[in-house]
Amino acid sequence: MSAPYTERLVAERKYHVGLTQGDVGQYVLYPGDPARTAVIAGFLDGAREVAFSREYRTFTGSVAGVPVSAVSSGMGGPSVAIGVEEMRELGVHTFLRVGTCGATQPGIKVGDLVIATGAVRTEGTGDGYVPKEFPAVADYEVVTALLEAAREAGARHHLGIIRAVDALYSDLVPDTMPDGPKLKAELEMWAKAGVVANDMESSTLFVVASVRRLRAGSLLLVVDEVGAGEIHHLDPAYMERMLKVAVGALRRLIERDAARK
């Protein structure tokens, strides 16, 4: 007789992320770039690489004595959703995206941090879960922890609604697209509505986390300013500052979770 379905889910090595029970902590820092997980590992205690499958590269260490993992998602919503689904089956309950974004407001500069409170769903992956009317909202505990950590670090940051997209270059260089005027008008409309930045993953993360009753937040590093039309290679100090804020936020969440127990 085969094991019950829930037991098999835990026991099996997950097809895409290449992880099994015990490989990953319940708290995950979730960047896009596999190379960035090795950098994040330097901010965790005793981190070691435990898997590298497709775009998902995983290092697991600890923060405040609690297992924490850095897992890359690759680019875009589909791989974010797959990773969340497979890791939740291994017990992950908190996801913090640490990625990059393009600013949509003039006062937001390269190197600044953006803490997303929610995201406009102009990507498509979330549509496979719920209709567009369902909002993509960050978990308030994660947002609060990020704000506190950013203030403590003295990091220049912005709080607000972002927008997630599938086609990066339609945003970067709309004039080169077949329907350039429409794309430019859409970008201007979202900016007038107060959207502070664009990325490719956050709305999917928020939707899947909400549907699956998980916690998720998004901390983004600005790599493109309004009208620049290009992505900047950053001073490594900017990335280090973002990761210090992210780990500081996780530490707060871990300590508050422990206090509730």
Catalytic residues, which ones? 224
Looking from the CA of 193 toward its CB, the CA atoms found within 13 Å total: 13
Burial class (CB within 10 angstroms; exposed 0-12, middle 13-18, buried 19+) of 196? buried
How far from 71 is each of 33, 38, 87, 100, 183, CA to CA, in Å? 9, 10, 10, 15, 33
Q: Estimate the crossing angle of helix 140-153 against helix 236-260, to 10 degrees.
A: 130
CB 199 within 8 A of CB 33: no
Which residue, among 237, 222, 249, 242, has the nearest Cα to 95 in the 3D structure? 249
Read off the tokens for 30: 């979730």
Alpha carbon distance 155, 125 (integer Å): 32
Alpha carbon distance 204, 85 (integer Å): 12
